[in-house]
Amino acid sequence: MLIVLSGATTGKLAVFQLQEKAVLNQRVGRFRWVSEKLIDKHFFTFFLDMLSHYILIEAYGGAQPNISPTRIEQMATILPPLAEQKRIVAKVDQLLARVNAARERLTRVAAVLAGAEKHVAAATAQTDKLTQAILAKAFRGELVPTEAELALREGRSYEPASALLAKIEAQRNHVRPQRKRRSSWQQKSS
């Protein structure tokens, strides 16, 4: 998945599916899934759609907005477990199907009602807002029960994401000790 980092199309996404190697420049960023065991591809697409929206908010500059890869990395979020991602995708797909059906009905109404373009455009804009609202609710965890709620209902233990992040960070700190930087005179002599 590629993302534009600067210019009039900042935040726009594209899927690169060619087998040839490609070169990125400073105006294009790349997202890769590390493992399909960690993230559902459809969830990743929804996630990037929301991320694209936030990138446009965070980008700086007038006619040529920009955002750095570092700033995008700082927007990182905690991914829910794969099973919950699949439930979210199913729910979002179900709701988006309803939105699309509403759009189709609005299109048919527009064909029947001559001169009603203003009303149809307003309703279409509302369905676009509804799509964003559905995705926002999905990423706030308001569409399906959270893992904590499911664990409580099922009478099993649950480890919050904050505890898991603390473990991961402790492992990273243990595995990758900080390297010392060489001074400029050491670099020249080696």
Q: What percent of the chain has pLDDT over 90?
A: 14
The mean pLDDT of the chain is 81
Distance in angstroms (rounded) separating the CA atoms of residues 51 and 47 = 6
Residue 139 tokens read as 């990423």
3-state helix, strand, coil split of the chain in percent (to 5) is 55, 5, 35
Domain coordinates in residue numbering, the chain: 1-79, 83-160
Strand ranges (E), 55-140: none
Mean pLDDT value across residues 102-116: 80
pLDDT digits (tens, 9 = 90+) for 110-139: 777 756 667 777 888 898 898 889 888 888
pLDDT digits (tens, 9 = 90+) for 25-78: 778 877 776 677 788 888 888 887 887 888 877 787 777 888 877 777 777 677
Mean pLDDT value across residues 83-102: 94
